[in-house]
Every structure is written in C-alpha cells, then in structure tokens.
Amino acid sequence: MESLHDKKLKYLEELANKIRETIIETLLEAGSGHSAGPLGMADIFTALYFHILNHDPKNPDWPDRDRLILSNGHICPVRYVAMAYAGYFPMEELKTLRKINTRLQGHPHRTALPGVETTSGPLGSGISQSIGVALTARLDNKKYRVYCLTSDGEHQEGNTWEAIMFAGKHKLSNLTVVIDRNNIQIDGYTESIMPLEPLREKYESFNWHVLEVDGHNMFEFVDAVNEAKAIYEKPTAIIAHTIPGKGVSFMEGDFRWHGKPPNKEEAVRALAELRSLRGRIQSEHE
C-alpha cells in the first residue's frame, strides 16, 4: 500500500464527498433504502476501494484479490456507489437500485454483481462468512487479506460472538473486522436498546487485537489497517467511530434516518450541504 500523502488524501476526501452526493441521488431515484449508515461509512469505503484493497475492477474474480465482505448489507448503497466510481460497472446503473431485475438489490447478492463476495441480509452472519474465507486463504497458503465490515447493532446477535470466539481461538491474523460504531439502529440508540459497551474489552477477551479510530479520519483508518497487517498472532478489530448521516446536518446522529431515503425536498437540501462541504475540503487543501 502506498503512503497516504497530502495529495492522495485530498483526492480521497473529495471523492468521499462525491460518493455521499451520489448516495443521496441514488436513494432519491430508488425511493427506498438506507441513508444514515451509507453516508457515515463513505470515508471508510473510499479508503478501502481507492487506497487499501488489492483488487482489480476489470478482473473481479482475480484469485489473489483481497476480499471485502459486507455483513450489514443494508448499507450497500455506499458499496455500490464506491464500486461504480472504481469501475466495476457503469455509473448509470446506479439508477436501478432496488428496482425489478436490477443487479443492485436492496441487500448485495453474490451472483448478481461481479465484485460482491457474499450475499448479505441476515445480520450477524458476516464474521462467520469471513472466517470461512480467511481459513481458506490459510489452507491454500494465499496472502490475500479478508476485510469484514459490520454494524455495531448486529453485535447484539449471538452468532456474532460465536464467530468472534472462533477467530480468536484460531488466530486468524489475515482477518480484519471493521465495526461501524455509529451508536444507532432502526429502533433507536444501541446503548438504550441493548448496550454494547465495553465493546473493546469484549473483543480483547476473545484474543483479538483491537484498535479504535475516528471513522472520518482516513489517516487514522489507514494507519490502523497497516497495524493490523503487522499483527501475526491474532485477528484485528477496528472500532470506527462514525456519525450516521455524516455531511447532512438534519440526518446526522438521528436514528430515524437509519432505514429511510430522502424525498425530493430533503435531497435538494442534503446535496446543497454536501456540495458546500466539498468546496470547503478543496479550499483547505489549496
């Protein structure tokens, strides 16, 4: 992985904001879908697809590619948009999100779209799926890494913790789990519905290396990924603290935006804010 110098950081920050704008436009066209999580994870998906992952959009089944597994499939608009910008499929296809016969289903479907490693939908399954892929790499003596993106709310699922125990026992150092710690779920705030804290200590007790980062600081996230690569005796969990609805003032931190799209008026307001933010990012780097 190349170093994250100032010029590359500017490019990634501007791209992340473009991705947020396109998420809003895509959700408006679809008339359904999730807003808060995709906006909150735009920085991380940008860092992954445009700096971290060893992948080839022109050859999505390349055997030595890194594997990105999305456990919380409902935030797939951010994955689809990032993939479109990366060249996996035409940007125009984003207009088909959640429509009949689309490849861009409401939850990712493995056989529908090249570059999607697993089908996701039932929360809590992603770490188990990632363990299978990581074990395969070990048995085949392959060097690719497995990145599993999860929500914090799905850590209320029992099978998540079975998987975490298994990965710790087998010291799957080629597995990195990224937790979107945005503190919301569809019915409210995680700590009101089923408290997760102390989340870091729980992972550590199951023999994981744990890092915590600002999920909107790409330097921090890239550094954490690099540190994970240097850990050979255990898997790594990166707890990424994010703001749901990031970049749109009336969505930020509001759990009611977990599972709904903007209407036309709301989309206009959101896009105006995001375009203003992109202008500020450009000015800061000049």
SS3 62: coil
- Look up residue 105 and give its DSSP letter: -
d(C-alpha 32, C-alpha 80), whole Å: 15
pLDDT digits (tens, 9 = 90+) for 211-221: 999 999 999 99
What would the pLDDT profile of 11-35 be if each residue is shown by its tens digit? 999 999 999 999 999 999 999 999 9
- Residue 78 has which token pair? 């951010």
Alpha carbons 286 and 281: distance in angstroms, whole number: 9
Confidence band for 281, pLDDT divided at 50, 70 and 90: confident
Cis peptide before 77 (omega within 30 of 0): no
Query: What is the rounded distance in angstroms from the CA atom of residue 245 to the CA atom of residue 37?
Result: 7
Residue extents of the structural domains in the chain: 6-284
285 pLDDT band, cuts 50/70/90, is low
pLDDT at site 95: 98
Q: Tokens representing 43?
A: 């920085």
* Range list of H helices, the chain: 6-30, 36-40, 42-47, 76-86, 126-139, 158-169, 190-193, 199-205, 218-229, 264-284
Question: What was the pLDDT predicted at 6?
Answer: 87
Q: How many Cβ atoms sit within 10 Å of the Cβ of residue 101? A: 7
Domain 6-284 -> CATH class: alpha beta
Q: What angle do CA 134, 190, 187 make, to 5 degrees?
A: 110
Per the DSSP assignment, residues forming a β-bridge with 148 are: 69, 177
Residue type, 160: T
Distance CA 75, CA 37 (A): 6
Q: How far is it, in rounded angstroms, from Cα 208 to Cα 31?
A: 40
Under DSSP, the state recorded for 286 is -
- Tell me the pLDDT tens digit for each residue of 105-164: 999 999 999 999 999 978 999 999 999 999 999 999 999 999 999 999 999 999 999 999
- The more confident residue out of 280 and 91 is 91
Mean pLDDT of 240-263: 98
